[in-house]
Amino acid sequence: MPERKKVTLPSLFRKVTDNVPITMLTCYDFPTAYFQEQAGIDMILVGDSLGMTMLGYESTLPVTMEDMIRHTQAVRRGSPNSWLIGDMPYMSYQPSVETAIRNAGRFMAEASCDAIKLEGGTEMADRMAGIVRSGIPAMGHLGLTPQSVSALGGFRLQGKGAQQARKIIEDAKSLEEAGAFAILLEMVPDRLCQLITERAKTCFIISLGSGLHAHGQLLIYHDAFGLYPRFKPRMAKVFANAGQVIQDGLMEYVKEVTERTFPQPENWFGMPDEEYEELLTLLG
Ligand code: KIV
């Protein structure tokens, strides 16, 4: 496959201008990053969802900067040309603007990221502005923000009522004014997503379970490929059931080893007769 050009902020905004949807997926490891690179995914998010999808936690809250940096480095090695976004984990930016800038800087310096993402609206706009002023592109995240799942009352639709929807519109405006290059809208009604997309002037909007009227789409990789055994959210379509393929393969492996039909001669290595004879002599 011919190597593709590096995705850049200008090339992403060109897609927006040309009305071509931006493709985005989460990714957490080298081989998956390699496949996504080959598929030409525009933006890769190393989400703190890795706490659930890769590490088996019940939420994203236990994820550390060290977890994030290690996985992001692996993804960068597999996908040199996508626009790579490091997701700021819980308490890596909430305490202060300075904490936020330091940890955003780690993603750029240690994992060769192109940008970072953080959750929250108006109340996080000063963190967003500080990071952007430091020369680091930053993406916002509104609607269902998993780091605040307890305060939000669970993994549920956000902005269904008019008052809450207006607050999300105001939050989007604050993030745009703070310099966000993009905003992710997770699980808000499609009409709210459309209103925010139409109002966006200097940033673009990515939808996760928020309908078609955004500038691009994001899915959690494990949801889209049947790799998360605990549940499948409604917003995710399973594009290929890799989880089932792997499960079937594992059962076949167990069966063949148990029945001694694996391995076969093509799966092992022989030794020349004369070397074997000499070995037996040496052993007495
Ligand atoms: O961590 C993550 O993957 C995310 C998505 C839910 C957008 O933030």
pLDDT digits (tens, 9 = 90+) for 233-260: 888 999 999 999 999 999 999 999 999 9
Q: Which of 25, 28, 218, 220 is closest to 111 using CA atoms?
A: 28
Mean pLDDT of the chain: 97
- Alpha carbon of 116 to ligand 1 centroid (Å): 12
Query: Above 90 in pLDDT, residue 218?
Result: yes
Residue among 45, 55, 141, 221 whose CB has most ligand 1 atoms within 8 A, to mutate: 45
* Residue 37 a catalytic site member: no
The DSSP symbol for 24 reads: E
Residue of 36, 87, 231 to mutate, ligand 1, most atoms within 8 A of C-beta = 87
Which pLDDT belongs to residue 220?
97
pLDDT above 90: residue 130: yes
Q: What is the pTM of this model?
A: 0.95
Whether pLDDT at 224 is above 80: yes
Alpha carbon 106 to chain centroid, angstroms? 18
pLDDT over 70 percentage in the chain = 99
CA of 123 to the centre of ligand 1 (A): 19
- Distance of CA 184 from the midpoint of ligand 1 (Å): 9
Question: How far apart (Å, rounded) are the C-alpha atoms in residues 44 and 23?
Answer: 9
User: Nearest-CA neighbor of 233 among 161, 144, 164, 117?
Assistant: 144
Flag the least confident range among 31-35, 150-154, 160-164, 196-200: 150-154
Is it the case that residue 231 has pLDDT exceeding 90?
A: no
Q: Which of 186, 256, 274, 278 is catalytic?
A: 186
User: What's residue 154's pLDDT?
Assistant: 85
Is residue 122 very low, low, confident or very high in pLDDT (cuts 50, 70, 90)? very high
* Overall average pLDDT of the 35-50 stretch: 98
Q: Whose CA is nearest to atom 4 of ligand 1?
A: 47
Write down the residue that tokens 């680091």 correspond to: 136
Ligand 1 closest atom vs CA 119 = 8
Average pLDDT over residues 257-273: 97
pLDDT category at 1 given cuts 50, 70, 90 is: low
**Residues above pLDDT 90, as percent of the chain:** 94
Structure-token pair, residue 248: 């079937």
How far is it, in rounded angstroms, from Cα 152 to Cα 165? 14
Q: How confident is the model at residue 2 (pLDDT cuts 50, 70, 90)?
A: low
Beta-ladder partners of 205 = 183
For atom 8 of ligand 1, the residue with the nearest CA is 47
Q: Report pLDDT for 238.
A: 96
- Helices (H), strands (E): how many in the chain? 12, 8
pLDDT tens column, 45-56: 999 999 999 999
Average pLDDT for residues 212-230, to the nearest whole number? 96
Q: For ligand 1, atom 2, which residue shows the shortest CA distance?
A: 47
- Convert the pLDDT of each residue in 87-104 to its tens digit: 999 999 999 999 999 999
